[in-house]
Amino acid sequence: MSEEPHPRADELDDMSALEFVTLMHADDRNALDAIGPQLEHIAEAVEAIAGRLRSGGRLHYFGAGTSGLVAAMDAAECPATFGVADSLVQAHTVADGREDDRAAGRSAVADALIGPRDVAVGVSASGRTAYVLGALEEATARGSLTIAITCNRLSRMNRGVDIAIEVETGPEVIAGSTRLKSGTVQKVVLNMISTAVFTSLGHTHRGRMVGVVASNEKLRDRAARIVADLAGLSIDEARARLEAAGGDMKAVLAEARKP
């Protein structure tokens, strides 16, 4: 558990800066390795989420504090990366002061009109955040697919959900600071889930961001380079075709593949 003192806690105050960051680096590597045993559950979640989204469902994250911020980051990145609607992946979060409000979690699910086609993902390092527990309980009652991402194998949150992803990261260097290893693995797991889901749904092509919305010069240049690479065009021709298609990379690539 993250609240327990680190095995080397008594040495920390006397460490040099290099010793301190070396210890943190080793801890982070161990935490990432702890994801390995959960890959089957992560893959199961990817397949289940993709199925719900194909049927018109939405993906909802619920979290508080650091976990909520991590979830919000992943949700915010999906439209820009995959070209999906802002409403397809939503993060519902509260600050630490409201994380003990179970009813607020239930209300968040009700207010979002979450139903049987949707997915509710609870993110909590401890697995006992009341706001997230309330959200998962309400989502379950409404027939949604429910997934828990925790760093505590024995947590209450892992019971009663459809899929539990339990990454045991162990004590943090600073006891209880879940922005460290716990936050890192939560971000990595969410990266895996959203990226694999939207790749399976065709929002990428051969490892390229073909759904990206080219809203500025940097992204327009990136889109042109991707189209040129995938379609075998010159960069100038790629730019011209993108301009004619209103920046729709998928349309340009589909046209280029025609015999």
Q: Which sequence positions are flagged as catalytic?
A: 77, 99
| Contact of 78 with 198, CB cutoff 8 Å | yes
User: Distance between CA atoms of 57 and 51, rounded to whole angstroms?
Assistant: 9
The set of residues, in sequence order, having a beta carbon less than 8 Å from that of 146 and lying 6+ positions away, is 119, 120, 121, 122, 136, 139, 140, 160, 161, 162, 163
- 84 φ, ψ to 5°? -90, 165
Query: How far is CA 51 from each of CA 138, 194, 251, rounded to the nearest angstrom?
Result: 21, 13, 24
Closest residue by Cα to residue 61 from 17, 112, 123, 10: 123
